[in-house]
Amino acid sequence: MNYEDITTLAIALGLGLLVGMQREKTNNTLAGVRTFSLLAILGVISGFLTRDFDNPFILPALGLAIAALLVAGNVLAKRNAPDSDLGQTTEVAALLMFSIGAYLVLGDQVLGVIVGGLMAVLLYAKERMHNAIDKLQNKDLSAIMTFAGISLVILPILPDETYGPFDVLNPQNIWLMVTLIVGISVVGYFIYKFLGKKVGLLSNAILGGMISSTATTVSYARKTKDADTIDKLSAFVIVGASAIALVRIVIEMGVVIPEKLPQMILPIGVEFVIMVALCIFLFYNIQKGKKEDRMPEPKNPAQLKTAVVFGFLYGIILLAVAFVNEEFENEALYVVAIISGLTDVDAITLSLSQIMKQGNLEIDTGWRLILLASLSNLFFKGILAATLGTQRLAKWVGITFGISIVAGLLIIWLWP
């Protein structure tokens, strides 16, 4: 007796019962728990027959027979109820269940189980998925389609070769970094879209850091001009978003150079803890009874123009870092980090991580440059808050950012 075949049969039966229960729960008259269980078993048996008799025609013949039965069932259902609206979900699920049963025998069982489980989840989540899609606006669809174009259309066709001076410009690598940054922003955007409005003040800071801490600073600074009671609230969100931006930096470093992340995460983690402590201080100093204001809904984070600009900036910084690294001492890189970090920390972080990955920059120097760039960005956001917001906001942001910058500089200077 082949116990592996019995195990395969049991797995198929379990998947058939799982999907069949979901279909029967929806009062589907075409196929329920028994039909799906039988389809899964039939798929396994067809796989056994194909394997044991080495006949490639058995499986497609049985598949066509099942398809014919499904068509006949639909024809009869339509004849009995002409006004009924017959969908194709159950039919497709039935064919897929038969195919999974066969694949459990002839292919990778783990993959077959994953596909079966995913099918059950997708069928169960139908209403939730439809509700989520109904809530999408045109700009949401634009974000999804633009990100799909960036990651699935443009990225694969770019050449994976280095060009230009210093041999550091790789079009596919540059666009991969663009995809990473846009992907992080899109995820943050949709989390805010479906959860951010309900979670409260803390989510505004976290999601603001995921989407764009600079944009969050500008939005909340402007809001203080319209309401004189939200200065501390706005300061909390701005500082919190800037703290989360450090997490975003760590994620970027981990994607590009994961093997060196343990050496870089601790000093940046210390700066993060300091900023979190400042956020806690602000949170407990927020006046009681004041209404929490929501983060303004962000714009489409996956705009092609923005992606192209970021890719161009990333390439320029790659060239600048390579040039300075070859022509000058490492001290000159600190100037590049300060200037680059003023408006965009992501580009300098990814550029320096790429240089470290190639072995052209020491890890101890690299994380210091990245942290310095983030401190430069804090300084720039502090100026934005002071310029666009009220004096009280400028005071709170100035104090917290000032402490953060001093602490960061001490870490860069004193860290062994």
Domain boundaries, the chain: 3-131, 135-414
Q: What DSSP designation does 302 have?
A: -
Q: What is the pLDDT of residue 297?
A: 57
Asked if residue 328 has pLDDT above 80, the reply is: no
pLDDT in tens, 169-188: 889 988 988 888 788 778 77
The secondary structure of residue 305, as a DSSP letter, is: H
What letter represents residue 370's amino acid? I
Three-state DSSP state, 97 = helix
Q: Write the single-letter amino acid at 256.
A: V
Q: Phi and psi (nearest 5°) for 163?
A: -135, 170
pLDDT for residue 145: 87
User: 64-68, long-range: CB within 8 Å, 24+ apart, which pairs?
Assistant: 66/39, 66/42, 66/94, 66/95, 66/98, 67/95
What pLDDT is stored for residue 349 in this prediction?
Answer: 92
- The rounded distance, in Å, linking the Cα atoms of 182 and 344 is 13
Say whether 163 sits in a helix, a strand or coil: strand
User: Rounded to an integer, what distance in angstroms lies between the CA atom of residue 372 and that of residue 401?
Assistant: 13
pTM: 0.70
Separation between Cα atoms, residue 66 and residue 39, nearest integer Å: 9
- Residue 293 pLDDT more than 70? no
Could you read off the pLDDT of 123-135 as tens digits, one per residue?
887 767 767 777 7
Distance CA 184, CA 403 (A): 28
Residue 233's pLDDT is: 83
How many helices (H) does the chain have, and how many strands (E)? Answer: 19, 0
pLDDT for residue 370: 95
pLDDT of residue 190: 79
Contact present, 343 and 214 (Cβ < 8 Å): yes
Q: Is residue 53 predicted with pLDDT exceeding 50?
A: yes
pLDDT at 289: 44
Q: Residue 378: which pLDDT band, with cuts at 50, 70 and 90?
A: very high
Q: Give pLDDT, residue 201.
A: 66
User: What pLDDT does 416 receive?
Assistant: 86
Please give the share of the chain, as a percent, with pLDDT higher than 70. Answer: 87
11: tokens are 């797995």
Q: SS3 of 159, please?
A: coil
- pLDDT (0 to 100) of residue 276: 95
Q: How confident is the model at residue 316 (pLDDT cuts 50, 70, 90)?
A: confident
pLDDT at 73: 73
How far is the C-alpha of 15 from the C-alpha of 334, rounded, in Å?
Answer: 58
Q: Which of 50-64, 134-148, 154-168 has the lowest mean pLDDT?
A: 134-148
Length of the chain, please? 416
User: How does pLDDT run across 16-34, given as a tens digit for each residue?
Assistant: 898 888 777 766 656 678 8
pLDDT of residue 227: 64
pLDDT, mean over the chain:
83
Those residues with Cβ within 8 angstroms of residue 315's Cβ, 6 or more apart along the chain or in another chain: 169, 174
Q: Is-contact 310 181, C-beta < 8 A?
A: yes
Q: What is the pLDDT of residues 243-290, one digit of tens each?
A: 999 999 999 999 999 998 999 999 999 999 999 999 988 888 765 445
Average pLDDT over residues 239-244: 93
Distance CA 318, CA 351 (A): 5
Amino acid sitting at position 18: L
Residue 163, strand partner residues = 169
